[in-house]
Homo-oligomer: A and B are copies of this chain.
Amino acid sequence: MEIVRREEIMRILDDYDEKDITIGTIGSHSALQILHGARQEGFRTLVICLKGVEELYERFGVADDILTVNDYREMISDGFQEMLRSRNVILIPHGSFVEYLSAEGIASMRTPIFGNRKVLEWESDRRKQREWLAAAGIKMPMSFERGDEIDRLVIVKLHGAKGGSSYFIASSPEELKQKLRDIDNAYEIQEYIIGTRFYPHYFHSFVRNRTELLGIDIRYESNIDGLARITPFMTEKIEPSFVVTGNIPVVARESLLLKILHVGDGVVSASRSLFSGGIVGPFCVELVCTDTLELFAFEISARIVAGTNLYINGSPYSQILFNESMSTGRRIAIEIKEAIRMDMLHQIVY
């Protein structure tokens, strides 16, 4: 697949009718919120769904147009892209984009995408994520090259596998060796930092030139969050897994908030030196807070995260900033609206 040059996207955008923009996304992850927020700000909305899934968006009544596909890869075809452009669609990427379209698929799309599409490449590569966090000056868990080096609890993350279903923990080299016996994938061995987890929802506004904190969540993972509750009373032992199934709201103590904002600031400024344009719009840095109140980052999500779904009717933090029910989806729509008004749309779309 051919990578689309930025200039071409800019030319496409030149032809868009900025008074008739449609906000579009893939029907999954945080689409309800993205579409609902776009509607609140007066945009037309469009969602692309796998056949059968459109029912969800019909029932919540958030989309003006629903397009169904048998395979998300159909979205990448010239005809589909042409159709999206004819409707002045700006696509809002979320966590399912890379999963369904691949980083290369996204890079090849001839439709304007909100935010810097280069971030998706950085996000989908664990090594690049570490490079990014290091450049941002953010503390990270230790990474172990070899299993026999481990001297503490570790979590092993297999590459090329989906999310938490392929994570496992080990507390000794022997345990690790045994668990890796049948593994063919490449993997990363990361120190497991013990503490409270915080997943802050940042929004870097190019238009307002500031990084905002819109909410924080805790991931609710299966089986671990059910298993840990019951294991102490079981005689058998079951291995934990870490598949995200939902999110629980949380606020951080106020004295942590500036540290959390600085983590976001670091990610934004590092992004500018790592890739042209830097990060624009929503992102998340997965944090753990130790009992000495130090924050460690173990991942970046360089687009809207699903934890924002908790705050479709506003969060404590977005309430302070906006004094109304401000979801991250709605915040994206406001950024686009303000960019149009200030003739800055070309700077927030890639």
Chain A residues packing against B (C-beta within 8 Å): 28-33, 36, 40, 53, 55-56, 59-62, 96, 153, 164-165, 169, 171-172, 175, 192, 194-198, 210, 212, 216, 218, 220-241, 243-258, 261, 288-293, 306, 309-321, 323, 325
Contacts and interface: CB of A to CB of B under 8 A. Distances in A.
Contacts of A309: 251, 254, 316
A228 to B, nearest CB: 4
B196 A222 contact: yes
5 contacts: A36-B319, A56-B261, A60-B321, A195-B226, A227-B232
A220 B249 CA distance: 11
Interface of A: prevailing SS = mixed
A197 B318 CA distance: 27
B315 A56 contact: no
B250 A240 contact: no
A233 B169 contact: yes
A117 to B, nearest CB: 22
A149 B166 CA distance: 32
A206 B225 CA distance: 37
A150 to B, nearest CB: 12
Contact of A246 (B31, B33, B252, B311): B252
A252 to B, nearest CB: 5
B251 A194 contact: no
B293 A245 contact: yes
B293 A243 contact: yes
Pick from A62, A212, A226 the residue with the most CB of B within 10 Å.
A226
Copies per complex of this chain: 3
A292 B243 CA distance: 8
A228 B226 contact: no
4 closest Cβ pairs, A-B complex: A313-B319, A231-B232, A312-B316, A241-B291
Given A198-B246, A226-B194, A234-B153, A255 B293 contact: no
A28 B255 contact: yes
Given A55-B261, A222-B291, 10 more contacts: A30-B254, A53-B258, A153-B230, A164-B291, A196-B225, A218-B248, A231-B233, A247-B251, A254-B309, A313-B313
A233 B229 contact: no
B226 A288 contact: yes
A135 B56 CA distance: 23
A171 B240 CA distance: 17
A98 B256 CA distance: 19
A291 B243 contact: yes
Contact of A247 (B36, B55, B250, B315): B250
Nearest to A197: B226
A49 B209 CA distance: 24
B320 A312 contact: yes
B253 A306 contact: yes
Given A234-B171, A245-B196, A258 B291 contact: no
A238 B193 CA distance: 12
Nearest to A233: B240
Contact of A230 (B169, B230, B235, B316): B169
